[in-house]
Every structure is written in structure tokens, then in C-alpha cells.
């Protein structure tokens, strides 16, 4: 952690890096799925596996069997950290607008 970078700014930088890495991961996965010759590297081999899972359509369950759905519904509290940008005059702006402005400035 850089002592000179405020924690919210560092968190935003990390989230930006994660987004870029996820985009790169998706591009690599597309190549691996479409090109079998790309699946062997120097140190790693990519194996393509498919699994089937069963999911419950909660929306349909609630629509057709509301009493049963209610019986098995429980509250859950999630905690998240939402970043907001600070304008030059100290006003809060959305992270999306802040990142767009930072992208325009670069």
C-alpha cells in the first residue's frame, strides 16, 4: 500500500485494474474456446470442461407458489463499499462519471 495514496483512491485503482483484467480474461477465454491449438502453453494447459447444474427460477416460484416461496425466504444483509468521485469543488459525483472524466483527461 502506498502511504501517499488515500485508501478510497487506491480502492478505485484496484477496481479499475480488476475490470481490465476481467476484460482480458474474457478475451483469452474466447480464444481458448474457439482455437484448440491455443490451449497448450509453456507451463500450463487449458482444458475445456462443461458442467450442468440445476437452478431454481425464484421469480417463477414466487409467481406460482407465493406461500411456499415466502416460507423459505429469509432476510440477508450485505455490506458493500460504494465509491463516489469528488469534483474539484468537493461535490460527490458518480463513479461512472468520475472514471469517464479521468479517461477523457488522459
Task: Tell me the per-residue pLDDT of 29-38, one tens digit each, with 9 for 90 and over.
Answer: 999 999 999 9
Q: Given pLDDT bands bounded at 50, 70 and 90, which one contains residue 2?
A: low
Cell of 84: 463516489
The answer to whether the beta carbons of residues 84 and 94 sit under 8 Å apart is yes
Mean pLDDT value of segment 41-57: 94
Q: Model-level pTM?
A: 0.71
pLDDT at 100: 87
Task: Tell me the per-residue pLDDT of 51-62, one tens digit each, with 9 for 90 and over.
Answer: 999 999 999 999
Q: Given pLDDT bands bounded at 50, 70 and 90, which one contains residue 1?
A: low
SS3 84: strand
Amino acid at each position: 500500500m502506498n502511504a501517499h495514496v488515500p485508501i478510497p483512491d487506491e480502492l478505485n485503482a484496484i477496481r479499475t485494474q480488476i475490470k481490465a483484467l476481467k476484460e482480458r480474461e474474457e478475451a483469452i477465454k474466447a480464444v481458448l474456446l474457439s482455437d484448440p491449438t491455443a490451449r497448450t502453453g509453456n507451463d500450463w494447459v487449458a482444458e475445456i470442461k462443461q458442467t450442468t447444474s440445476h437452478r431454481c427460477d425464484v421469480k417463477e416460484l414466487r409467481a406460482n407458489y407465493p406461500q411456499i416461496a415466502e416460507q423459505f425466504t429469509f432476510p440477508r444483509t450485505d455490506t458493500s463499499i460504494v465509491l463516489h468521485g469528488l469534483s474539484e469543488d468537493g461535490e460527490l459525483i458518480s463513479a461512472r462519471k468520475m472514471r469517464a472524466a479521468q479517461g477523457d483527461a488522459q
